[in-house]
Structure 1
Amino acid sequence: MIRTGPRRGLTGALALALGAAGLAVVSTATPAVAAPHYDSTPSVQIGWTDSATPKTAYPWNDETHMPLGTRVDDEGKSHTSRIYATFDLSSYEDRKIYGGTVFIQEYSAGDCAKRAIEIWRTEPVSETPTWNRAPKPLAKLDEILTPEWCPKANISFDVTAAVQDAVAQQQRLITFEIRVPEQYESDPAYGRRLNWYRSVGLTTKYNSVPKVDNKHLYNGGFPCTPAQPYSRLGGFANVLQAVGTDADPNDERGLTTEFAIWPADEPEARKVFSKEYGISGRVNTVNLPEGTLVDGESYAWQARVSDRVDFSSWSKKCYFTYDGTRPTAPTVTSANYPSSNTGQWAPAGAPAVFTFSGNGNTDVAGFQYSWNDLGVNVCEASGDLGQWVCRDPFSLPNTVRADAPGGSATVTLNPVGSGPQRLTVRSIDLAGNVSAATVYETLVRWSAPEVRVENGEPQWGQEVVLKLVPANGVTGVREYEVTLDNGEPQTRPADEDGTARFSFTATNPNGHSLKVRSRSENGFVSQEATWSAYFWPGPGVKSDVYVQTPDGSPVGGVGVQGSFTFSPPPGWTDTAAYRYSFIDGEELTEVAAGADGRATITWTPTTSGWVTLTVFAVKPDGTWSEYGNWYSFEVAATS
């Protein structure tokens, strides 16, 4: 804060500058700045005492300028007053105090040539005392003995030491006594009044010391390891992260984090790296420069946080061993899926058995494998505090540990495709480093089941019955896994011949899709078959005699009566009628729909040859379907 003069006097220019503005220098409207911070400390009591009425307390009130020192009333009676002000310091617990300044403003003076004012710290009081019950003085804090800029001067007192002590002692209240020095206190020439509007104010300069969170220290995408055995870390070991917090809102986006790291057995080789612009409650990250870490070396590290004024204490120590060496690539063999180099095909319906070997290299701890490319083991900034998260590679899908360092592992797999298939395998070490890939190619037979429609062409609103049939060579099928329209998978048990049925009602106007694969008693899971049905957006047509044959061969015959059933377009629930014609260009005939939205007509051809039946659906309001159905077939010459 700004003090209007040196400890024992006012400088004229500064007093003049403050004279017009009063205590506006404490305005809370000024822009927020970084630590340390200034705060107008809330008052608990402000008031004065009077020696002439020693049992009466005089709390501060509007429009009464507070008396200080001695004054003589109209009846010649002498009054000596002292001013007391108490402030609440409870908001500064756990904060570091850098300064304290008490402000007053004079209103009038007995003699402007004489000024002597002291400020004392007393035992704390929560209510304005009386002259007889004044609190015990503890220490004189500051004084002013110079008369300049009387009587409208803005005066400040340095009370830093007192505020620091009170906060350190966890005292919630601090009380100040403002008085004329004892040798002048009875002299009315030193008496004065303080401006009631400005009252007595305390501005505290403080800072909340930032903290480092020992529960949130991260190294290479993993939580801190505080003791042996040390974590072995590979490619992301150079990423150190720590969470700092700062209770001051103005500092929450400007923290600097320092990371100290050293070889575990060489603390004297400690190096410190820093990262600015950290956010309170989120990780701040430093990437160690290339060459900082040496392969095979164990390291210790810790972090601390600064708001550019104060540092937190150093965090606990974390440890890791750096492993920058990739393991060697594995060899891959199979007991029943021969390499494609032999020209032989794998047996139908049999799970594949593969053996991966580390060939005795003790750095190999296990293996990753996939029928597709493996990609990279990705670490992501996906933690709840923004930290990098790297998973234990052996917690990932398609990983297996070797039976011993540098040993082997055998897995049983089901191929996902047919024809030439590539199995990609690589070694993993304990630090998460991976080797170059080994690719094993084998020839796999088709194994997806066949899907057959059992009850004719699927129609919207009707039941669809599908028969599921094993692929050639796939035996011992015990069940099928069926997924309809990307829903949850369902299972259907297989009959003795390996077939099964799956039925559903076609409720989606846009059609349906289905995925299915078989599971055999020997653990084999087939490739996935897909099936779909699309519904023409116009009305449906179905005939008992005049069916549409796959090869277009003639049906029925001249004089042979056939029925035709019309069904609503997909999604229609209010079909009132159908309009149809068997002759192109002929006026359409209307037939009413039944309660189920369907209508059936009969028709007997009089000539043979190709016929196209045109049908439109009609709603109750007369709206025609946007799409019609052009149902074509050939009438045979004779029945």
Structure 2
Amino acid sequence: MNRSRPRRGLAGVLALALGAAGLAVVSTATPAVAAPHYESVPSVQIGWTDSATPKAAYDSNETHMPLGTWVDENGRSHTSRIYATFDLSSYEDRKIYGGTIFVQEYSATDCGKRAIEIWRTEPVSETPTWNGAPKPLAKLDEIRTPEYCPKASISFDVTGAVQDAVAQEQSRITFEIRVPAQYESDPAYGRRLNWYRSVGLTTKYNTVPKIDNNNLYNAGLPCATLHPYPRVGGFANVLQALGTDADPNDERALTTEFAIWPTDRPEARKVFSKEYGISGRVNTVNLPQGTLTDGESYAWQARVSDKADFSSWSKKCYFTYDATNPTAPGVTSANYPSDDTDEWAPAGVPAVFTFSGKGDKDVAGFQYSWNDLGVNVCEASGDVGQWVCRDPFSLPNTVRADAPGGSATVTLNPAGSGPQRLTVRSIDAAGNVSTPTVYETLVPWSTPEVRVENGEPQWGQEVVLKFVPANGVTGVREYEVTLDHGDPETRPADADGTARFSFTATNPDGHSLTVRSRSANGFVSQKANWSAYFWPGPGVKSDVYVQSPDGSPVGGVGVEGTFTFSPPPGWTDVAAYRYGFVDGEELTEVAAGADGRATITWTPTTSGWVTLTVFAVKADGTWSDYGNWYSFEVAPTA
């Protein structure tokens, strides 16, 4: 017999150690982290009946509940039984390990006598009457010992009844607490149960985890169940499966077991496990080196555990392990000679290459690049954390052979000019790759020329560019233009292969542009890069005293010229300009027009080099941080 003591309330009862006679110690320890779990079950009704008022039902409501026979103050005899019904609707997918009903005595007529039974009855939804008592189904437990009267905390084992009710998918279970029939009419066995402690049901349960047959992966590929089995290579040792567990305390404490065996030798089945799985995310096991044999076909399946229960095994998945790399390819070209010949490829013509599997039937296709090929990687990028290994033939620059070990022909545009290297490797059905084959060739310059058509670009003004094909590039039908890293635009070419492109310079920091030509034969040139930078000071233009490219003198003594000043890039409120032709002299101010520009005239009196200094001025008197020092040489005579 275990000693009982007062409990801290219904919600605090988390574990019960049952004694043989039903008297128990009630613990209020911290909840267990791992399965199984303890839970107080919500009640539907708690109350009692009275033989003296057989048509009345009494709900527990701050009244200590009578049990057995008792005599009222008028000497009238009553016999009472207590009924408690609990809601099991949340246990549909749970496994029951234990069930305990607990009560606490408040008083007893004779502490030397205690006899209490607990029965399961047909379920009710409200407290019954004496005449309408539910049919008893089975006696579950009893207590006949008198210790710790009259304040004992008493528990009854009702595990079997709760297990049966859940198995029968019953949403309610009702218990009857009574004095055994042979003592029920004896007032000495009568007592009252504490209304505040009431009647509680605690279950020890676990929600059995589940394995998700829709989320099984091998080598970054979904589970395959049909023959022929997929051939997998480098990531074949990676098995992944998704388990779920509805119990919050178990959602990060799952263990996944993976069983694998050769399809023709099921007796060679091996099981590998991985702990610390997360509910709703795949758990991964990496098979130890030596587990798989090249050329062997395997079956595998998985199950998940929360350390209390295992799920069922998943469906079976299949694959064939392929650890053999294919033969390196042969590479030839119909029109791009190997650099061994010292011949250059034709200008403006796409390259035609043929790749050969050299009869190795393991070769399924080829991967190629003008640069290094890199590594075909798998990534943990799936929506449940699974590895995703793409079909190698869905990757860029791949082509299938016309037959196993056969060949494939591709047409390519070169990646640059001068010596170029095309790297090619074979791919097999498992994604294994060969050592690379490198083909080197000499490619002519193909980048189009970019010419500015309307003088040096200025901020706020239109810029007109002309595109001219590179020498030898013929049949240009259009240009692809990208301005300032925006979306590509297309400009049709004229009959001579040239095209124009214009835009307004609106960025104070300047503009950048790339352009490449496209020819009717499918040739795409390399990109040309063009950029314009705007001096942050004011602009200066002259009709006579221009800055000649070769530095030769312009104008002449006595020859009048005009100078037009424009706002610094980004300025929209220029009020005036201050300028001077002689270093050290006080600057002259001229008002700006509505467009922010100003024009002056000037006639030189001597020949030689002159530097015109110009600053822009805002309406508030602020000068531009940068000036413009416009230099030119005046000719002696016109």
TM-score calculated relative to the size of structure 2: 0.97
Q: Please say if residues 425 and 437 of structure 2, whose CA atoms lie closer than 8 Å, have aligned partners that are also in contact.
A: yes
User: Does the alignment pair 1:312 with 2:300?
Assistant: no
- Name the residue aligned to 2:37: 37
For 1:189, what is the secondary structure of its paired residue? helix
> Deviation of residue 305 (structure 1)?
0.5
1:406 matches 2:442: no
Secondary structure at 1:576 match in 2? strand
| CA distances 1:340-399 after superposition (whole Å, capped 9, x unpaired) | 111111111111111111111111111000000000101000111111001111111100
Which AA in structure 2 matches 1:71? W
In structure 1, list runs of 5 or more residues that go unmatched.
1-9
Report the count of equivalent residues: 625
Alpha-carbon distance in 2 for matches of 1:568, 1:325: 70
Matched residues in 2 for 1:476 and 1:358: separation?
Answer: 35
Q: Does 1:19 align with 2:6?
A: yes
CA deviations over 1:173-213 (Å, ceiling 9, x no partner)? 00000111111111111100111110001111111111111
Corresponding residue number in structure 2 for 1:237? 236
What's the CA shift for 1:19? Answer: 2.9
The residue that corresponds to 1:556 in the other structure is 555
Kindly indicate whether residue 133 of structure 2 is the aligned counterpart of residue 134 of structure 1.
yes
Which residues in structure 2 correspond to 1:85-164 (within 5 Å)? 85-164=84-163
Contact 2:301 2:314 in 1 (8 A): yes
Q: Which amino acid aligns with 2:58?
A: Y
Counterpart Cα distance in 1 of 2:119 and 2:45: 16
Aligned residue in 2 for 1:4:
none
Cα distance in 1 for partners of 2:557, 2:256 equals 94
Q: Deviations over 1:413-467 (max 9, x none)?
A: 1101111100000000011000000011101111000000000111111110000
User: What is the one-letter code of the residue matched to 1:365?
Assistant: A
Task: Give 3-state SS (helix, strand or coil) of 2:463's partner.
Answer: strand
Whether 2:438 is the aligned partner of 1:439: answer yes
Q: What letter is aligned with 1:572?
A: W
Matched residue SS, 1:405:
coil
Deviation at 1:32, TM superposition (A): 5.2
Distance 2:321 2:467 in 1: 55
Aligned amino acid, residue 19 of structure 1: P
Task: Assess if the C-alpha contact under 8 Å between 1:22 and 1:154 holds in 2.
Answer: no
- Mapped to 1, the partners of 2:480 and 2:293 lie a distance apart of 52
Shift of 1:30: 2.8
TM-score by length of 1: 0.96
Match of 1:5 in 2: none
Residues 219 and 237 in structure 1, CA contact (< 8 A), matched pair in contact too? yes
Cα distance between partner residues in 1 of 2:453 and 2:6: 100
Identify the residue that residue 23 of structure 2 maps to in structure 1: none
CA distance in 2, matches of 1:526, 1:427: 28
* C-alpha distance in structure 2 between counterparts of 1:22 and 1:487, whole Å: 69
Structure 1 residue ranges, 4+ long, deviating more than 4 angstroms after superposition: 20-23
Structure 1 pair 324/250, CA: closer, same or farther in 2 (3 Å)? Answer: same
Whole-angstrom distance in 1 between the partners of 2:564 and 2:313: 84
* Displacement after TM superposition at 1:538 (Å): 1.2
Equivalent residue for 1:7? Answer: none
**Separation (CA, whole Å) in 1 of partners of 2:231 and 2:28:** 52
Counterpart of 1:165 in structure 2 is 164
- SS of 1:19 mapped into structure 2: coil
Q: Distance in 2 between matches of 1:175 and 1:345?
A: 95
Give the equivalent residue in structure 2 for 1:258. Answer: 257
Alignment partner, residue 6 of structure 1 = none
Tell me which residue corresponds to 2:458. Answer: 459
Deviation, 1:25, is 3.4
Amino acid at match of 1:189: A
Q: CA RMSD in A?
A: 1.2
Matched position secondary structure for 2:13: helix
Shift of residue 31 of structure 1?
A: 4.5
1:138-164 CA-to-partner distances (Å, cap 9, x unmatched) read: 010100100000000100111110111
Q: Shift in Å at residue 616 of structure 1?
A: 1.2
**Aligned-partner SS, 2:574:** coil
* 1:21 Cα offset (Å): 4.5
Letter in 1 for 2:274: K
Residues 1:422 and 2:421 are matched in the alignment: yes
CA distance in structure 2 between the aligned counterparts of 1:32 and 1:38, rounded to whole angstroms: 8
Shift of 1:29: 8.5
Contact 1:124 1:173 (C-alpha < 8 Å) held by counterparts: yes
What SS does structure 1 have at the residue aligned with 2:164?
helix
Is 26-35 or 98-107 further displaced after alignment? 26-35
The letter for the 1-side match of 2:633 is: E
Percent identity, aligned pairs only? Answer: 85
Q: Are residues 28 and 372 of structure 1, via their aligned partners in 2, closer, same or farther at CA, if it must alter by over 3 Å?
A: farther
- Mapped to 2, the partners of 1:635 and 1:304 lie a distance apart of 93
The answer on whether the counterparts of 2:13 and 2:202 sit within 8 Å (CA) in structure 1 is no
